[in-house]
Amino acid sequence: MSLQSELDQEALDAIERKYDTSLNTRENGPFLTKCIYWATVAFAIYHLWTAGFGTPVDYVHMGLHLSGLFLFIFIGFPILKNQARLEYNPIGFIKPANVPLYDWVFMILAIAASLFLWVSWQGVSLMGYEVPSQMLRQGNPTGLDVFFGSVLILAVLEIARRTIGFVLPLIIMVFMIYAIFGPQMPVQILQHPGVDWNQFVNNMYFPFEGIFGVTLWVVSTVVFHFVLFGVVAQRMGLGQFFVDNAMIAAGRYTGGPAKVSVVSSAFFGTISGSSIANTVSTGSLTIPNMKKMGYPGHFAGGVEAAASAGGQITPPIMGAASFLMAEYLEVPYTTIVIAAIIPALMHYIGVMSIVHFTAKKLNLKTYTKEELPILIRVWKEGWHTIIPLIALLVVLFSGYSPNMAAFIGLSLCITVGFSSFRKPLTLILPLALLAFVFWKASALSGEGFSPVMAGVLAACIIVGMIHKGERHSFTSLFDSLHVGVQYALAVGAASAAVGIVVGVINTTGVGFRLGFMVTGGAAEMAETLHAVLGWIPVDAFTQSSIQQFLSLVLIAIACILMGAGLPTTALYIMLVSVAQPALSQLGVPPLATHMFVLYYGVISEITPPVCASAYAAAGIAGANPFRTGISAFTLGLGKLMVPMVFVYAPTMLIVLPEYYSLSSFLQVSITCALGIFAIATAVSGYFLTHLSGIWRLLMAIAGLLMVAPSLNSDLLSLVVLVPVLIQQWNQREQNPLTNVVPPKSL
């Protein structure tokens, strides 16, 4: 692809489709394409309505959500993805509208299976075949239950394979084999009585342990809505508003374009949990500008990918796994948001520091004053785009449910970005939203908005109606809803399929068995290492400390290796079931355990050889994908170390009162930031002047010691750091014109 200073939207869409498989679908012909388009819009509107006015009973809502997934995936995703199958080539009855007959059959069966529970919940008679109510069938499924349950299991495995690849379905099949053939397991600790197929289907099909379990429920009631919000908000102008403000905040400093990339990706990450969407949206501007200023292409792409991967850990709207975490831990989502603030900040400090010192090393120019947006003009033209995000945060942090917050945010996006007095019919929606707010504040709605909340939201709606900023057409709104549904397909498919894993874990207790194996293996290694290192009079070298550290390392390695082929949400669900029992034995609080797995799962987004965000950035930069992935991983080193810190010092997470105190929080957070800063100088090879050889190594050691949450290690790091600072100061004084490394050597 030829690189230009500015890439047009068509080229960016092509890059996004290439690396985000949820957007790379087959052509279906004009009529079916139009039908599917409006079906996705209706699907989005249904979820928006349920978020505000109440969700149907779980098995009904999840059945409808699954039906939508089956419809869109079996129509849009071929059984084997290649260019020939994606192109339009219908063959009469065998392949009507470019969809093979077997896909039509499988889609119909899968939809029937997902809706059968709803139809038969109170009992039903089908062609003389009596199906009793679900209460009587639980634990004793009928033949129809086994048939439709088997279809549903195969269908969710297939849609997961079509959207995210074969790795997740293969892992799930291993869990299925384990559930059925438990007595034959070669390792005694893994053996269990096993279940026959009928009982397995019973556990996977009936709510609430398997497919119709917590993972699909959270995705269909919360995650889906926030995905829609991110897409609609970005397309109504909030994304550009973030980029412009990032230009103003960081563009005038050393390495301006790269710092703009970091800041804009951090801003964009607050509304988008998709790292690929973040990469393409902000990278379309920042990557060409970085190259223009002298950054090598692979480094420019790596900066954008590393910064964008932070979207899944950046509050307030994080990735899908964070909503599941709140459900598993049975805490408000706002607790997860607060806990994630400082660790996310550490990630961006690491990326920003490496960017800064690399720019100093290469002596790169910054933006001129003329190239930067004007603050007053940016806010005059775009201030209104932030209204939906503010309203969403106000509702979320006032104790209301996340789906209500998403409903308000989405509805205000429509009010602010698409409704206009020039088109009177479009005012029906904001007026209806105003009526909804007052209804929620009245006695008619039961537990609703307080008078203050109603007043704040009413003010947001009125201001959103009368502002003089740009309005987009409803065609653009429908396009946004359509794209939002496409983004959500892979997450929905993964959540439905991984429900099987959750069901197997609950049925067999394999999570505790694997957790015991991890701690047992770590204990054996710790015993050996303690025999060698136990003489050192430091707490870190006691046998229990070594065991805890090795357990963390083993789980972190599993996260990174398995993350090479799994989406973060699926990886989190599977590994937290192992990490939780393993680390709880070592005294690690549950929230720290869950955050630990989430962070190392997100690292897989920028870990070669499979790192879709980095590959998308490489596509924009015209750079080598693998080198771009290496650069992104290097830039994300802060994210690699921070989980270890909050496991050993949970005070960093703020929300755990038994661990938190202001003094410990400040000591751990400040020294962690300074340590990441020091490691950034070692990675870039520059501090006050060029840093190389033994001095670079000493800086890295000092940084690691500073990151470690211990006062003794902090003091030791200062001992290591002082000679480096003296050397840097003397070298700069002796040679004020610091040698600059040419870009090719980076």
Q: Is the pLDDT of residue 735 over 80?
A: no
Please report the pLDDT score of residue 637 as a whole number.
Answer: 78
Q: Which stretch of 6-10, 412-416, 462-466, 733-737 has the lowest confidence by average pLDDT?
A: 6-10
Within-domain flag for 742: yes
Residue 284: exposure state from Cβ atoms within 10 A (0-12, 13-18, ≥19): buried
Within-domain flag for 682: yes
Helices (runs of H) and strands (runs of E) counted in the chain? 33, 2
For residue 131, the cross-strand partners are: 124
Please report the pLDDT score of residue 108 as a whole number.
Answer: 96
Following DSSP, what letter does each residue of 591-656 receive, concatenated?
HHHHHHHHHHHHHGGGSTTS-HHHHHHHHHHT--HHHHHHHHHHHTHHHHHHHHHHHH-GGGGS--
Average pLDDT over every residue of 4-10: 49
Within-domain flag for 367: no
Within-domain flag for 711: yes
Average pLDDT over every residue of 420-448: 84
- pLDDT bin (cut points 50, 70, 90) of residue 102 is very high
Q: In this structure, are residues 607 and 629 in contact, taking their beta carbons and an 8 Å threshold?
A: yes
Of the two residues 649 and 566, the one the predictor is more confident about is 649
Q: How far apart are CA 587 and CA 544, in angstroms?
A: 11
Please report the pLDDT score of residue 280 as a whole number.
Answer: 76
- pLDDT bin (cut points 50, 70, 90) of residue 565 is low
Please report the pLDDT score of residue 193 as a whole number.
Answer: 86
**Token couple for 403:** 């789906």
- pLDDT bin (cut points 50, 70, 90) of residue 276 is confident
Domain that holds residue 685: 661-746
- pLDDT bin (cut points 50, 70, 90) of residue 128 is confident
Please report the pLDDT score of residue 553 as a whole number.
Answer: 87
Average pLDDT over every residue of 140-146: 90
Q: Which stretch of 267-276, 330-339, 570-579 has the lowest confidence by average pLDDT?
A: 267-276
**Residue 32's closest CA among 105, 83, 104?**
104
Please report the pLDDT score of residue 363 as a whole number.
Answer: 79
Q: Is the pLDDT of residue 410 over 90?
A: yes
Please report the pLDDT score of residue 20 as a whole number.
Answer: 64
**Residue 286's closest CA among 260, 307, 306, 249?**
260
- pLDDT bin (cut points 50, 70, 90) of residue 37 is very high
Within-domain flag for 43: no
**Token couple for 202:** 């019973």
Per residue in 243-258, pLDDT (tens digit) is 888 888 888 887 777 8
Average pLDDT over every residue of 442-463: 84
Please report the pLDDT score of residue 15 as a whole number.
Answer: 64
- pLDDT bin (cut points 50, 70, 90) of residue 9 is low
Please report the pLDDT score of residue 3 as a whole number.
Answer: 37
Within-domain flag for 548: no
Please report the pLDDT score of residue 549 as a whole number.
Answer: 85
Of the two residues 444 and 401, the one the predictor is more confident about is 401
Q: In this structure, are residues 285 and 279 in contact, taking their beta carbons and an 8 Å threshold?
A: no
Average pLDDT over every residue of 619-644: 83
- pLDDT bin (cut points 50, 70, 90) of residue 538 is low
Q: Is the pLDDT of residue 173 over 90?
A: yes
How does strand 124-126 pair with strand 129-131? Answer: antiparallel
Average pLDDT over every residue of 373-393: 90
- pLDDT bin (cut points 50, 70, 90) of residue 1 is very low
- pLDDT bin (cut points 50, 70, 90) of residue 444 is low
The domain total for the chain is: 1
Q: Which stretch of 115-119, 123-127, 388-392 has the lowest confidence by average pLDDT?
A: 123-127
Per residue in 658-716, pLDDT (tens digit) is 999 999 999 999 999 999 999 999 988 888 888 888 999 999 999 988 988 888 888 88
CB-based burial, 149-185: b 16+ in 10 Å, e otherwise: bbbbbebbbbbbbbbbbebbbebbeebbebbbebeeb
Query: pTM (2 decimals)?
Result: 0.86
% of the chain at pLDDT higher than 70: 93
Within-domain flag for 224: no
Within-domain flag for 91: no
* Mean model confidence pLDDT for the chain: 85
